[in-house]
Amino acid sequence: MGKPHSSRETGIKWLLTLFALSSLLFLFVIFAFILAEGLPLFVKVGPGHIIFGMKWAPTKGHFGIFPMIVSSFMVTFGALVFGASLALACATYLSEYAGRKTKLFLKPALELLAGIPSVVYGFLGVVYIVPLIREYLGGPGFSILSTSLVLGIMILPTIISISFDALMSVPAGYREGSLAMGATKWQTVYRVVLPAARSGILASFILGMGRAIGETMAVIMVAGNALKIPTSLLDPLRTLTSNIALELAYATGDHRSALFSTGVVLLVIIMFLNLVANFWVKKRTAR
Partner 1 sequence: MRLNPRWINKLVTWALTFQAVLAVGILVAIILVIFIKGAPHVSLGFIFSYPEDMGRHGGIFPSIVATVLLGLLSLVFATPLGVGTAIFLTEYTKESTFTRIIRFGVESLAGIPSIIYGLFGFIFFVIKLGMGWSLLSGTLTITIMVLPTIIRTSEEAIKAVPNNLRMVSFSLGATKWETVTRVVIPSAMPGILTGIMLSIGRAVSETAAVIFTMGSSLRLPTSLADSGRTMAVHFYILAREGISLEKAYGTALILVMTILIINFVAYYLMNRMVAKYS
Count of chain residues binding partner 1 (CB under 8 A): 86
Q: Does 145 help bind partner 1 (rule: CB under 8 A)?
A: no
Which residues, in sequence order, are CB contacts of 45 under 8 Å at separation 6+? 61, 63
Which among 152, 153, 127 has a CA at the least distance from the CA of 142? 127
Q: Does 155 help bind partner 1 (rule: CB under 8 A)?
A: no
Measured CA to CA, the distance from residue 232 to residue 199 in angstroms comes to 33
Q: Does 122 help bind partner 1 (rule: CB under 8 A)?
A: yes
Tell me how far, at minimum, the Cβ of 70 lies from partner 1, in Å.
18
Q: Does 41 help bind partner 1 (rule: CB under 8 A)?
A: no
Binding segment for partner 1 (CB under 8 A), chosen from 60-68, 140-148, 195-203, 273-281, is 273-281
Q: Does 29 help bind partner 1 (rule: CB under 8 A)?
A: yes
Output 67 or 125, the one with its CB closest to partner 1: 125
Residue type, 151: L
According to CB under 8 A, which one of 20, 172, 181, 286 is a site residue for partner 1? 20
Which among 224, 219, 220 has a CA at the least distance from the CA of 234? 224
According to CB under 8 A, which one of 201, 223, 266, 280 is a site residue for partner 1? 266
Q: Does 180 help bind partner 1 (rule: CB under 8 A)?
A: no
Binding segment for partner 1 (CB under 8 A), chosen from 42-50, 61-69, 104-112, 227-235, is 104-112
Measured CA to CA, the distance from residue 273 to residue 244 in angstroms comes to 20
Q: Does 170 help bind partner 1 (rule: CB under 8 A)?
A: no
Measured CA to CA, the distance from residue 261 to residue 69 in angstroms comes to 12
Q: Does 19 help bind partner 1 (rule: CB under 8 A)?
A: yes
Site string for partner 1, 222-261 (x = CB under 8 A): -------------------x--xx--xx---------xx-
- How buried is residue 212: exposed, middle or buried, by Cβ count under 10 Å (0-12/13-18/19+)? buried
According to CB under 8 A, which one of 3, 24, 43, 135 is a site residue for partner 1? 24
Contact 8, 230 (CB under 8 A): no
Name the DSSP class of 237. B
∠ at Cα 30 (25, 32), nearest 5°? 90
Name the DSSP class of 57. E
Binding segment for partner 1 (CB under 8 A), chosen from 45-53, 173-181, 193-201, 207-215, is 207-215
Measured CA to CA, the distance from residue 118 to residue 86 in angstroms comes to 19
Name the DSSP class of 192. I
Residue type, 150: V
Site string for partner 1, 53-92 (x = CB under 8 A): --------------------------------xxx-xx-x
According to CB under 8 A, which one of 69, 144, 197, 213 is a site residue for partner 1? 213
Q: Does 126 help bind partner 1 (rule: CB under 8 A)?
A: yes
Which residues, in sequence order, are CB contacts of 249 under 8 Å at separation 6+? none
Output 64 or 122, the one with its CB closest to partner 1: 122
According to CB under 8 A, which one of 30, 54, 132, 268 is a site residue for partner 1? 30
